[in-house]
Amino acid sequence: MIPSDVQVRARVALKVGKQSSIDADIVSFQGFADHEEHVALIFKSADNTLDCPLVRIHSECLTGDVFHSSRCDCGEQLDEAIETMAVEGGIILYLRQEGRGIGLYNKIDAYVLQSQGLNTYEANQKLGFEDDMREFQCAIDMLNALKVQQIDLLTNNPKKADIFKDSGISLNNIRQTNLHLKSDNQSYLKAKKDFGHKINL
């Protein structure tokens, strides 16, 4: 596997809530084994100490992150991470793994199947994919490139915590994300809970 390395680091202002903004660094990398364009967003805490940063591993969801689709809670989880890290500092690893790794168009196909009664995992299976096609080695590579040795993790997904076993990066604490329940995402959240996510539903 080719190790990743930091390519470019640039300052950007990000929207927090409806009226305020926060400066963060957006970081690109080179050398990912999957050849995707994953990025990190780094928020510095008030005292500029990030010896054990809060980390959110967030897989791209165009429909949720950008359009705030009512079918999922992805956009709300991303907003929660940004708002939290604007205060506490931290790192968002934004992974280009749309639709749990099946791609945008396939995810839209899965939406049709979900409308016919299948849950999000069953729809992926019906399309010929595994439940979850994502792999998270790229997240480890990004943290190594950033020289991060220990973290707190913001997630409801135990699989994301498992990737740190034998990674050389210490996982000190797991913090659950909030419940973002909407009119159209109850079955989606239930399916995630049934598949092991820690959701207080």
Q: b or e along 131-158 (b: 16 or more beta carbons within 10 Å of the residue's beta carbon)?
A: ebebebebbbbbbbbbebeebebbbbbe
Give the pLDDT of residue 45: 58
Q: What is the mean pLDDT of each run of 10 residues along the chain (201 residues)?
A: 76 82 91 89 68 94 91 89 92 93 92 88 89 89 93 93 93 90 76 77 69
Count of CB atoms situated within 10 Å of the CB of 116: 8
Give the pLDDT of residue 46: 45
Class of the CATH-defined domain 5-97+134-180: alpha beta
Domains of the chain, by residue range, sit at: 5-97+134-180
Give the pLDDT of residue 97: 93
Please identify every residue annotated as catalytic: 132, 134
Give the pLDDT of residue 190: 78
